[in-house]
Structure 1
Amino acid sequence: MISRVYHATMFALYQLCIVAGILAMPVAIAARQAGVTLPIHRLLSNVEDAYEATQP
Structure 2
Amino acid sequence: MISRVYHATLFALYQLCIVIGIAAMPLAIAARQAGFTLPIHRILATVEDAYEATQR
TM normalised by structure 1 equals: 0.97
Which 5+ residue runs of structure 2 have no aligned equivalent? Answer: none
Partner of 1:47: 47
Query: Aligned partners of 2:7 and 2:38: how far apart in 1?
Result: 27
| Equivalent position amino acid for 1:40 in 2 | I
Deviations 1:1-56 (A, max 9, x none): 10000000000000000000000000000000001010100000000000001103
Identity among equivalent positions (%) equals 84
Q: Which runs of 4+ in 1 moved over 6 A?
A: none
Partner of 1:3: 3
Partner of 2:19: 19
Task: Calculate the aligned-residue CA RMSD, in Å.
Answer: 0.5
Aligned residues: 56
TM normalised by structure 2 equals: 0.97
Query: Aligned partners of 1:17 and 1:45: how far apart in 2?
Result: 10
| Equivalent position amino acid for 1:38 in 2 | L
